[in-house]
Structure 1
Amino acid sequence: MRRTKASILLTLTAAAGLTLAGSVVDGASAVPMARQVALAGPSDLVGWATQGGGTSGGAGGGTTTVSSSSALSSALSASGTQVIRVSGTITCSGMLKVTSNKSVLGNSGATLVGCGLNVANASNVIIRNLTFRNWNDDAINVQYSTRVWIGNNTLSNGYDGAIDIKRASDYVTVSWNRIFSHDKTMLLGHDDGNGGEDRGRLRVTYHHNWFDGTNQRHPRVRFGNPVHVFNNFYGGVRSYGVASTVGAGVLVECNYFENTPDPYHLGEGSSGPGTLVARNNHKVNSGAGQTGGSVASIPYGYTCDTPSQVKSIVTGGAGAGRVGV
């Protein structure tokens, strides 16, 4: 019988001689996420990237370490299963294509300056522990791709999107990232007219991300339903937090909003409203938010941290360099 993550963590806890209080989610007992950080590391995979067969990246393949733009581009575009370890600061430009069955993992201090990663027509990709600065397109773009996990990265001062997901992509988890000094943070679904490709897809989980004084799109959602936004920390978000627009259904729960006048709303710009359900969010000097309609049920197991503790949990664990890879 396949064991759940919660049961494994409880076993680890018992072996260590510890006693942890459980919590109840969808009727099942589980270990609080805050405790999972201590036992399993803050980037332990949950959410939509566990579906559709799961996301293992380059596990089982060879490992190569790169420290130049040319070596990185070559490794990312190669066929086959591979772990690519990024070392040092690499200055580059444009978007570097990432092919299927890759783990792109930053060694301590690994930084990409001036460029981004393009996960296009790919499946089973992991991107973790990298710092992105001053990209001239997107930092991470996902399109026509499935089973992608983007975790524990730090992103700042880019041109366009920090993490954009679009064009029929599906089964994606975006977790434990920190974004600061940036405007357009996370777009999900690029165009109101792309429902033919996107409807029934664009299912993404955003959890334990730190939106640190950023401006908009945390995320801005089209068509995906259900999109799950939980246990994120919104600190001083200026324009708006979450926007659910045309065809989307977004569950916003157990987040911490601080100094964020517009935490979530329906519709954005010329895009009409989607649906949005909000529950158990903690707000400090923040607006009430706008909700409406219903959202499809979440098919995977997960655990909400206590909302009032989310700020300390996320600021203590989000971003590059916070987990060994």
Structure 2
Amino acid sequence: MWTNVAKKAGVPVAALSLVLACVTVTTPAAAAPVADGFASVDALGQNGTTGGAGGPVVTPATAAQFLEHIRRPGPLVVQVRGTITLPTGTTDGMHDVASDKTIIGIGPDARLVGGGLNIGVPVDDDVTSPPPGAVHNVIIRNIRFSGATDDLINVQMFSHHIWIDHNDFSDGDDGAVDIKRGSDFITVSWNRFHDHDKTSLVGHDDDNGAQDTGRLRVTYHHNYFDASDQRNPRVRFGSPVHVYNNYYRDNSYGIASTMDAGVVLEGNYFFSVNNPARVDFSGELGRLVARDNILVDCNHEIETRGTVAEPRTYYAYTTHRAAEVPTVVPAGAGVGKI
């Protein structure tokens, strides 16, 4: 089939054979993973998050091939096998991902090192509503991210329907997973964060309400914040942000809700966390509703304030009991477990 296509397109068969020796191309995957949380919500013209479902499946062998595939238009499943070292160059190591992509590791040893993934069009402070070309419908699963010179994953500029699931994040220079500038309908689930300082920012800064207010709806569930120091997450403006069934171990603080953000915090387990959750942090106070959380060897109680829209008005979900979280989450979070 590929030989016939090459002949019709005027591509030398010998050249095509060389390409196919480097990039494995297969038929579309039989079944796509199913997103949950805010990434599952039908909104903004997108029915849930399906990533590259329905498109070809490719397994690039080099960093150049990987980068070409993740920025290509149209549905595509990009498999990562082994270690791919991302270049720094003029981008500070951040590399763009186009809409309708699934980026998924094969086995427990898939790694992206030295650079990070950028999900979003270029920053423009004057844009205050979703532009026509906003990046959407991206799934990233089962990959170890480390050693980035900036963020490990950055979601920005009204990107929506993003699912970040069953990954391992460590040793980045800035954020592990940052979500900002009007991005919306995002789920961060079953990841392990460790050996990292500023884990996850929701909301760009205190002056970015024009882009962020009424957006930044994010679900964090069943993540293992394993001595990841702070921002687990740190939230501005977003509401509701749903944080449930996460395991916090040895952090300086867990969650901060500020600039009138609204966080629903339920069924989490905090062990040896100085400040599990707070609304008095910096900038204007946030809102936080807490229920059924467990605190062990923590120096402060959870700070609560105000009311927050219930996540169940957007999607259905089932929680584990908080007492089960220290067993369930480390056993299931991270790579090699899907």
Q: For residue 320 of structure 1, report the CA deviation from its aligned partner.
A: 1.2
- Matches of 1:81 and 1:111 in 2, distance apart? 22
RMSD of the alignment, in Å? 1.1
Q: Which moved more, 1:65-74 or 1:156-165?
A: 65-74
Give the residue type in structure 2 aligned to 1:228: H
Q: For residue 60 of structure 1, report the CA deviation from its aligned partner.
A: 0.6
Give the residue type in structure 1 aligned to 2:316: G
Q: Which residue of 2 aligns with 1:156?
A: 170
Do residues 64 (structure 1) and 58 (structure 2) align? Answer: yes
- The equivalences for 1:161-180 within 5 A come to 161-180=175-194
- Matches of 2:35 and 2:296 in 1, distance apart? 29
Give the residue type in structure 2 aligned to 1:318: A
Among 209, 216, 237, the alignment partner of 1:223 is 237
Do residues 253 (structure 1) and 252 (structure 2) align? Answer: no
Give the residue type in structure 2 aligned to 1:57: G
Counting aligned pairs with the same residue, the percent is 49
- The equivalences for 1:1-325 within 5 A come to 45-51=35-41, 52=43, 53-92=47-86, 93=88, 94-108=93-107, 109-120=109-120, 121-144=134-157, 145-237=159-251, 239-269=252-282, 271-286=283-298, 287-298=300-311, 299-323=314-338
User: Deviations for 1:238-268, whole angstroms, at most 9, x for unmatched residues?
Assistant: x210000002000010001011121000133
Give the residue type in structure 1 aligned to 2:56: G
- TM-score, normalised on structure 1? 0.84
Q: Taking CA–CA contacts closer than 8 Å with sequence separation of 6 or more, which of the two structures ends up with the larger relative contact order?
A: 1
Give the residue type in structure 1 aligned to 2:262: G
- Matches of 2:322 and 2:34 in 1, distance apart? 19
Q: Which residue of 2 aligns with 1:36?
A: none
Q: Work out whether residues 199 and 247 of structure 1, in 8 Å CA contact, stay in contact via their aligned partners in 2.
A: no
User: Deviations for 1:140-195, whole angstroms, at most 9, x for unmatched residues?
Assistant: 00012000000000011110000000011000000000010100000000111111
Q: Work out whether residues 67 and 89 of structure 1, in 8 Å CA contact, stay in contact via their aligned partners in 2.
A: no
- TM-score, normalised on structure 2? 0.81
Q: How many residues were matched structurally?
A: 279
Q: Give unmatched runs, 5+ long, in structure 2.
A: 1-32, 121-133
How has the CA–CA distance of structure 1 residues 255 and 44 changed in structure 2, closer, same or farther, with 3 Å as cutoff?
farther
- Matches of 1:213 and 1:79 in 2, distance apart? 38
Q: For residue 44 of structure 1, report the CA deviation from its aligned partner.
A: 5.5
Query: Is the radius of gyration larger for structure 1 or structure 2?
Result: 2
Q: Which residue of 1 aligns with 2:24?
A: none
Q: Give unmatched runs, 5+ long, in structure 1.
A: 1-42
